[in-house]
Amino acid sequence: MKMSVWRRMARLLLVFSALSAATGATLAQIPPDQRRQMRQEMREQWRQMPQDDRQRFREDRREQWRPMPHDDRQRMRDEMRGYGPPPGHGGGGGGRGQRGGWR
C-alpha cells in the first residue's frame, strides 16, 4: 500500500512539473503589448497599496539581501563569464591576468 502512495505522489509531481513547464512556455509567448499592460496593472496595484505595506515589503526585501564580499562577487562574475578556473581545479585565475577577465 505504501508503494502505491509513493507512486501516486511521484505521478502527481510529474504532472505538476509538466504543467508548470507548459505554463512558463505559454507565458513567455505573451505578446509585448499584453506584457506591457500586465506591468502597468502591477504598477497601479503597487501604487494603490498603503504606504505602510509598501515600506514593510521593501524592508523585508532589504533584509533578505545580504551584500556579498567584493572578492566573492568578482569571482562569481568571472565564473559566469567563463573566465574562472576549469572544473576540478582550485583557485587561480586561469592565467588571464589579475582579475581573470578580458578587461
Is 93 inside a domain boundary?
Answer: no
Is 14 inside a domain boundary?
Answer: no
Query: Residues of 65-92 as b/e, b for ≥16 C-beta within 10 angstroms?
Result: eeeeeeeeeebeebeeeebbbeeeeeee
Q: Exposed, middle or buried: residue 100 (CB in 10 Å: 0-12, 13-18, 19+)?
A: buried
Q: What is the pTM of this model?
A: 0.33
Is 47 inside a domain boundary?
Answer: yes
pLDDT (mean) for 13-33: 78
pLDDT of residue 40: 94
Residues spanned by the domain of 46:
29-83
Is 9 inside a domain boundary?
Answer: no
pLDDT in tens, 33-60: 888 999 999 999 888 888 888 888 888 8
Q: pLDDT over 70 for what percent of the chain?
A: 74
Q: Is the pLDDT of residue 11 over 70?
A: yes
pLDDT of residue 44: 92
Total count of domains within the chain: 1
Is 103 inside a domain boundary?
Answer: no
